Structure 1
Amino acid sequence: MLEAVHANPHADTETILTAVRRNLPDVSRQAVYDVLAALSAAGLVRRIQPSGSVARYEARVGDNHHHVVCRSCGAIADVDCAVGETPCLTPYDSDGALEGFVLDEAEVIYWGLCPNCSAEGTSGSQP
């Protein structure tokens, strides 16, 4: 299962199921869901779910990277964190709501059109 996630970055469960069944044809759909949940809980894979999309899984863990999603075709790519001062990732806490929290991650999703959809003049249909 972990090999399938490594071989298919940002894959949904169906894609991972298909990849796993190439080597283990009798694996159940529920087993794939259960193992993906366990791998996510153990920090071996990262689960992301952009708005309007099914859950996706990636093997890039241990860093705080972000994603860009094409509004038209749904393609997803990694985006490294901004280097230097990043005021949008420093939460404003005027009412003390963050008191006691130890922040260790920020999730940012950039939306737009991928190069293929942009060249085709496709309008966005995703959120």
Structure 2
Amino acid sequence: MATSSDFQQMLRGAAMRVTRPRVAVLRAVYAHPHAETDVIIRAVRQELPEVSHQTVYDSLHALTAAGLVRRIQPSGSVARYESRVGDNHHHIVCRSCGVVADVDCAVGEAPCLDASDAQGFTIDEAEVIYWGLCPDCSTATAQGRT
């Protein structure tokens, strides 16, 4: 697990000012992979009870823009944040409970998929979301049929 000094160094490395809210938001994102904003706010408020919603939103936006966290938003879901950045991995989402898990690229490096017609674009990332049922929901569904 990363420490406060690790988070401070990450911020400095991204040419960002080190603030207590930014460090707390980074700690929350690292502690809660694929967390919704409300989960991050609750985690940050355990450390900094006085922090506002807007400060957390602003910190998430700045950290995302700096490439220190990644924002994902599967169809029909609220935005979620994760600390795994820079490797162009994908996600799998349970249709029943909404749990999200990481899935490594199937082939090669970023963008790890080739468009059939890039239409002149220089593609640097591919985003794939797999949908299905997680093991718990699959088991529950199977047990409901018996």
The structure, 1 or 2, with the larger RCO (C-alpha pairs under 8 Å, 6+ apart) is 1
| Identity of matched residues, % | 71
Q: Helix, strand or coil for the counterpart of 1:36?
A: helix
Give the counterpart of 1:98 among 114, 119, 135. 119
The residue type paired with residue 119 of structure 2 is: L
The residue type paired with residue 71 of structure 2 is: R
More helix by percentage: 2
The residue type paired with residue 56 of structure 1 is: R
Give the counterpart of 1:6 among 15, 30, 35. 30
Looking at structure 2, the residues matched to 11 and 90 of structure 1 have their Cα atoms a distance apart, in angstroms, of 29
Query: How far apart are residue 98 of structure 1 and its match?
Result: 2.0
Query: How far apart are residue 80 of structure 1 and its match?
Result: 0.2
Structure 2 residue 135 is matched with structure 1 residue 111 = no
Q: CA RMSD in A?
A: 1.4
Moved over 4 A (4+): none
Looking at structure 2, the residues matched to 63 and 4 of structure 1 have their Cα atoms a distance apart, in angstroms, of 21
Unaligned runs of 5+ in 1: 123-127
Query: How far apart are residue 90 of structure 1 and its match?
Result: 1.3
Q: Helix, strand or coil for the counterpart of 2:44?
A: helix
* TM-score, length of structure 1 as denominator length: 0.87
What are the Cα deviations for residues 46-96 of structure 1, in whole angstroms up to 9, with x where unaligned? Answer: 000000000000000010100000000000000000136xxx921111xxx
Looking at structure 1, the residues matched to 45 and 82 of structure 2 have their Cα atoms a distance apart, in angstroms, of 18
Query: How far apart are residue 44 of structure 1 and its match?
Result: 0.2
Unaligned runs of 5+ in 2: 1-24
The residue type paired with residue 4 of structure 1 is: A
Partners of 2:107 and 2:113 within 8 A in 1? no
Looking at structure 2, the residues matched to 21 and 116 of structure 1 have their Cα atoms a distance apart, in angstroms, of 31
